[in-house]
């Protein structure tokens, strides 16, 4: 068997394995280096469709940097990242971000009405199917904003309402994946739990794959199914959320002790 045939054989085996294991994402030895600073170092990770995974770790551990790779906002400097069995850099970026939506820590709200903010992506990306006001109202209802008027000035909304508006805007694209970058960090405890509880409900109702960056172990324990704990750009622990009750590494033990 030639080297070329061996490579093709290995590629076919990898693709078959991905389908059989229902892997949505496959990360192999991913690193990211910015101006000589190693942000991510040798990350290997498989994520199945329909998971609710939390990326947990101290500030500067690489959580957000890893999250931004999943929809092509950033690119790895080494290693490979596959989405649906295809290299992520081979995806059309518009289609990728339609399927993989992201809610940021600070909600993006532009000048204009609630309706303007909801349809802004549809104005930029002509391939996205047009939506009616009934669609918009139904999506607002999904995130608990059923009492909000479409003509209301979006900038007049409260912080929690703006975050739910940002979530509704992503849901309009009917994504397969929802990326959440500490979306409740600036909200009070009760409101944060209400918003993530709704995300968890949508995860089940829509079979969404959710990947959430968080610094809050209590929030993660309550809503996530799996935890990937990052320390200095590497995966220190990876497992079901129950690992937070019995951490095996000194890094996670120390982190949880500080967050109590």
In the predicted model, what is the mean pLDDT of residues 88-94? 94
What pTM did the predictor assign?
Answer: 0.88
Share of the chain above pLDDT 70, in %: 88
Share of the chain above pLDDT 90, in %: 76
3-state secondary structure 170-214: HHCCCCCEEEEECCCCCCCHHHHHHHHHHHHHHHHHHCCEEEEEE
Pull the structure tokens for residue 80.
């490979």
* Whether pLDDT at 20 is above 80: no
| Average model confidence (pLDDT) across the chain | 89
Phi (first) and psi of residue 172, to 5 degrees: -60, -25
In the predicted model, what is the mean pLDDT of residues 174-179? 96
In the predicted model, what is the mean pLDDT of residues 88-95? 94
Give the DSSP H/E element, type plus range, for residue 221: helix 217-223
Give pLDDT, residue 108: 87
Distance from C-alpha of 105 to C-alpha of 108, rounded to nearest angstrom: 9
Give pLDDT, residue 253: 95
Domain limits, the chain: 3-259
Cβ within 8 Å of residue 181, ≥6 positions away: 64, 67, 68, 102, 103, 104, 105, 213
DSSP string computed for 58-104: -TTSSHHHHHTTTTTSS--SEEEEEETTEEGGGS-HHHHHHHEEEE-
CATH number of 3-259: 3.40.50.300
pLDDT band at 12 (very low <50, low <70, confident <90, very high): low
For the chain, helix, strand, coil in percent to 5 are: 40, 25, 35
pLDDT digits (tens, 9 = 90+) for 35-88: 999 999 999 999 999 999 999 999 999 999 999 999 999 999 999 999 999 999
Are 33 and 11 in contact, with CB atoms under 8 Å apart? Answer: no
pLDDT band at 184 (very low <50, low <70, confident <90, very high): confident
pLDDT digits (tens, 9 = 90+) for 114-160: 999 999 876 555 555 678 899 999 999 999 999 999 999 999 999 99
Give pLDDT, residue 70: 98
């Amino acid at each position: 068997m030639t080297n070329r045939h061996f490579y093709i054989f290995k590629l076919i085996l990898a693709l078959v394995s991905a389908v059989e294991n229902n892997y949505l994402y496959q990360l192999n030895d991913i690193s990211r280096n910015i101006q000589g600073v190693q942000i991510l170092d040798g990350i290997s990770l498989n994520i199945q469709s329909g998971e609710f995974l939390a990326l947990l770790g101290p500030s500067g551990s690489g959580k957000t940097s890893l999250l931004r790779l999943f929809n092509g906002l950033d690119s790895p400097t080494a290693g490979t990242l596959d989405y649906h069995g295809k290299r992520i850099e081979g995806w059309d970026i518009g289609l990728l971000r339609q399927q993989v939506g992201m809610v940021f820590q600070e909600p993006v709200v532009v000048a204009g009405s609630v309706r303007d903010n909801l349809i802004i992506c549809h104005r930029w990306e002509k391939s996205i199917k047009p939506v009616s006001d009934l669609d918009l109202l139904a999506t607002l209802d999904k995130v608990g904003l059923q009492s909000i008027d479409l003509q209301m000035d979006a900038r007049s909304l409260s912080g929690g309402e703006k975050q739910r508006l940002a979530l509704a805007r992503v849901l309009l694209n009917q994504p397969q994946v929802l990326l959440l970058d500490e979306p409740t960090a600036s909200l009070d405890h009760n409101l944060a739990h209400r918003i993530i509880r709704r995300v968890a409900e949508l995860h089940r109702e829509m079979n969404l794959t959710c990947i959430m960056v968080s610094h809050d172990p209590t929030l993660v324990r309550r809503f996530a199914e799996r935890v990937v704990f990052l320390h200095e750009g590497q995966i220190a622990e990876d497992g079901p959320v129950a690992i937070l009750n019995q951490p095996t590494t000194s890094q996670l033990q120390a982190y949880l002790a500080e967050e109590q």
